Amino acid sequence: MQVSVTMWGNLRRFAPRGVGSTVMQVADDATIEDLTAQIGAEHEVYAASVNGKVVALSTPLSPGDRVFLFDHLHGG
């Protein structure tokens, strides 16, 4: 199935051509954790939202979902 993925902050380095948004093909039973592993960012993603709602990384995905991935925030 296809999902739309937007990666924020330093996660953009995992996106094709460094562009923050892309459409990805994932397995029909994929979770956000599976998606992060597929792009090689499984240890980098701190939070996610799907279709505008903050969700757990174990959340299953559905066709056409809009996924936003966020990394850890750093302050000073």
Which residue ranges of the chain lie beneath pLDDT 70?
18, 74-76
3-state secondary structure of 64: coil
Give the model's pLDDT for residue 65: 99
Provide the H-helix boundaries in the chain. 32-39
- Alpha-carbon distance values, 6 to 49, 65, 75, 76 (Å): 10, 11, 22, 26
The residues with which 45 forms a beta bridge, in sequence order, are 71
Give the model's pLDDT for residue 74: 54
Domains of the chain with CATH codes: 2-71 (3.10.20.30)
